[in-house]
Structure 1
Amino acid sequence: MPENYTIYDLARDCGVSVATISRVINGSDAVSSKTREKVQQTMKAHNYTPNVFARGMNKMSTKIIAVFISDIANPFFADIVKGIEETCRRYEYRIILSITNNDMAQEKKELELMMQKQVDGFIICGSRPVADTNAEYLREISNKHPVIMVNSRIDGGEKLYSVLVDEKTASENALETILSKGHYKRLYVFGDTVWQTTKDKIEAAEKVCKKLSVPFDSDSLFQCPHTLEAGYEGAVRFLKQKPVTPCLVFCVSDQIAVGVLKTLGKFGMKTGEDFGVLGFSNISLCQLVTPSLTTVNQYMKNLGEQAANLFISSQNGIILDEKVFYSDYELIERESTV
């Protein structure tokens, strides 16, 4: 046997992943007897002995996690980071916060920089673009370091996990609950179609409208970034098109929704009667505006806690077969809808 025969060589020769080899070595039950026998025979044939020292080294860590958020001005991330930070503190981990400004090139630079700083791994928060240019790089990183996606999903990679709300199903449930009451005769959607979560919500809207025979076409969509200002500007464009009323305006984020809600009221439309507004996330502002905003609660702090616990488990050698974890959600009906 060559002196440099490694666990990677063993995995290649057995036709399995390095994670499977680790499970066999550690005596895990999560391996079939056929696979276990094949690995053990190959280890014997190559006189392979696990490098105990190297395995010990893998457990050494800086106890620092790089947490990426796309927009520090978006209150959606505040509770997520709070959940991450509180959980990490209990286990004596620290976080480094990195702001990517919704820029994939900047995100990659920050990933490379944090790798040089030898962080233990990454928690990446926020929706991903439909054309995600960093997905393969994140898969590559996850073969060595835990990478936890929050509010998004990327499949593949040994230690690549996703914690999220099923936003398509949540949107379907919320829209059907409100539209089935029969008051609103038309649905409009405000959001930025560059993001996968917006695409999911549009698909949900199309499905519900078809089911309930509510008109929905290209005129029903208003391109709108996820900010209060964009919600205001989108609402002005919306009014110029003389929308069908009474209508429901579904905003893919609460920030957009608050901007739309205040603008339509300012221009004389009656909340609940002429229009209703549905947001998504349940940021604290939803209860503070007048009228208060109907929205889907994503329980953001809980998402952060789940992500941090999953990271720490992975860092401590627990490799789970399940990679995607869906979290709870709830429609909260307030004054902005009938």
Structure 2
Amino acid sequence: MNIYDIARLSGVSIATVSRVVNGSPKVSPKTKEKVLAVMREHEYTPNVFARGLGLDSMKTVGIICPNISDQYMAKAVAYLEDNLHQYGYDCILGCSGYEQKEREDYVKLMLSKRIDTLVLVGSSYAGNGKSEFDTDYIREAAESTPVFMINGRVEGENIYCACADDYHAVYDVTRKLIGRGKKQILFMYDSDSFSARQKMAGYDAALSEAGYPVRGELKFRTRNDIEYTRDMLLAYKNLEFDSVVATDDGIAVGALKYARVKGIRVPEELSIAGYNDSILAIGCEPEMTSIDSKLEVLCRTTIDHMICLLERGGQIDTYVSVPCEIVKRCTTDF
């Protein structure tokens, strides 16, 4: 019986068994007891070689995102990798796609590697809000290794989340549009992710507070695709709106192109606000007002907290909310 057998019988990685053997605080109590029970059952006593394998820390972090071609994801991975290298850590990157089974399978695959912890980038990992079972695989992963989430929130032991304050960001920009006399504010989104739900809740709250009805026909689901969004808006002949709040800059640029085709003046007749303050916001004409979701701050905070947990055994917050900033450009007049 050796450390590899204990890992197989316990259903955990070799690194997790090594953490238990070395008394590391990085393993959840439930997983620790499961490994210890197997060790007791098989009368396993770690030898000096097992303790000296250096498996307790491989200084490697697993990072999973849905799609690295997405600008937000690509920037997040770049920020994460840069911060990890400053602490002497390497990373393994994987792209899971957006389907539930794909996400679950990729998390299992990443856990089979000898990683110190796992980072999930993007709010789609927090489910669609319809069932807690959608995120059970994350809680199961956290039994073996700490899980850090960027812009997604899942409750559970050994899970640490850093999120942009999307609710108040969209609330604030909607209130500013209302303050300029806008009454038909179109909310454009492309998913039911945790982030999108927070943004929609901020939009709803701002309208309700101003005494405006929350109208379903002014909640417009599209793709995060410029041409697709433009063409969908052009196809809706009876959709009337005087402003747009979009959950991504790509969607907002689609609305801007719609205005160009229709001969609608921006911002005089139509105000538009995007999200994430990406290169798209300054690459269009006129330049786009957009919400800076502080992705760099989220990534730096995540890695700083990770190092505190992994190397110092410190106590860290399980949830951090980072305020966003409205970057005013030429598509709004507030």
- TM-score normalized by structure 2? 0.78
Structure 1 unaligned residues grouped into runs of 5+: 1-17, 24-50
Q: Residue 214 of structure 1 corresponds to which residue in structure 2?
A: 212
RMSD of Structure 2 on Structure 1 (CA): 2.6
Identity of aligned residues (%): 21
**1:188 counterpart letter in structure 2:** L
SS at match of 2:177: helix
SS at match of 1:279: strand
Q: CA 1:150/1:58 → structure 2, altered by over 3 Å: closer, same or farther?
A: farther
The alpha-carbon deviation at position 58 of structure 1 amounts to 8.7
Q: Residue 270 of structure 1 corresponds to which residue in structure 2?
A: 265
Q: CA 1:75/1:193 → structure 2, altered by over 3 Å: closer, same or farther?
A: closer
Q: Residue 231 of structure 2 corresponds to which residue in structure 1?
A: 233
SS at match of 2:309: helix
**1:168 counterpart letter in structure 2:** Y
Q: Write the distance in 2 (CA, Å) between the matches of 1:115 and 1:202.
A: 34
Q: Write the distance in 2 (CA, Å) between the matches of 1:215 and 1:237.
A: 24
SS at match of 2:68: coil
Q: Write the distance in 2 (CA, Å) between the matches of 1:178 and 1:121.
A: 42
Query: Are positions 1:249 and 2:244 aligned together?
Result: yes
SS at match of 2:123: coil
Matched residue pairs, number?
287
Q: Write the distance in 2 (CA, Å) between the matches of 1:111 and 1:325.
A: 23
The alpha-carbon deviation at position 287 of structure 1 amounts to 1.1
The alpha-carbon deviation at position 290 of structure 1 amounts to 0.6
Q: Residue 174 of structure 1 corresponds to which residue in structure 2?
A: 173
Q: Which 4+ residue blocks in structure 1 deviate beyond 6 angstroms?
A: 51-59
Q: CA 1:320/1:59 → structure 2, altered by over 3 Å: closer, same or farther?
A: farther
The alpha-carbon deviation at position 57 of structure 1 amounts to 7.5
SS at match of 1:65: strand
SS at match of 1:335: coil
Q: CA 1:64/1:204 → structure 2, altered by over 3 Å: closer, same or farther?
A: same
Q: Residue 320 of structure 1 corresponds to which residue in structure 2?
A: 315
Query: Are positions 1:188 and 2:181 aligned together?
Result: no
Query: Are positions 1:69 and 2:68 aligned together?
Result: no
The alpha-carbon deviation at position 93 of structure 1 amounts to 0.9
SS at match of 1:122: strand
The alpha-carbon deviation at position 111 of structure 1 amounts to 1.0
**1:137 counterpart letter in structure 2:** Y
Query: Are positions 1:105 and 2:104 aligned together?
Result: no
Query: Are positions 1:83 and 2:79 aligned together?
Result: yes
- TM-score normalized by structure 1? 0.77
Q: CA 1:249/1:313 → structure 2, altered by over 3 Å: closer, same or farther?
A: same
Query: Are positions 1:296 and 2:291 aligned together?
Result: yes
**1:109 counterpart letter in structure 2:** D
Matched-pair contact (CA < 8 Å) for 2:63–2:94: yes
Q: Write the distance in 2 (CA, Å) between the matches of 1:124 and 1:22.
A: 23
The alpha-carbon deviation at position 163 of structure 1 amounts to 0.6
Query: Are positions 1:280 and 2:279 aligned together?
Result: no
Matched-pair contact (CA < 8 Å) for 2:153–2:161: yes
Q: CA 1:248/1:52 → structure 2, altered by over 3 Å: closer, same or farther?
A: farther
Q: Write the distance in 2 (CA, Å) between the matches of 1:134 and 1:97.
A: 22
Q: Write the distance in 1 (CA, Å) between the matches of 2:289 and 2:229.
A: 16
Q: Write the distance in 2 (CA, Å) between the matches of 1:255 and 1:273.
A: 21
Q: Write the distance in 1 (CA, Å) between the matches of 2:285 and 2:122.
A: 27
Q: CA 1:219/1:58 → structure 2, altered by over 3 Å: closer, same or farther?
A: farther
SS at match of 1:271: coil
The alpha-carbon deviation at position 178 of structure 1 amounts to 2.7
The alpha-carbon deviation at position 264 of structure 1 amounts to 2.0
The alpha-carbon deviation at position 293 of structure 1 amounts to 0.9
The alpha-carbon deviation at position 331 of structure 1 amounts to 0.7
Matched-pair contact (CA < 8 Å) for 2:305–2:316: no
1:223 corresponds, among 221, 246, 264, to 221
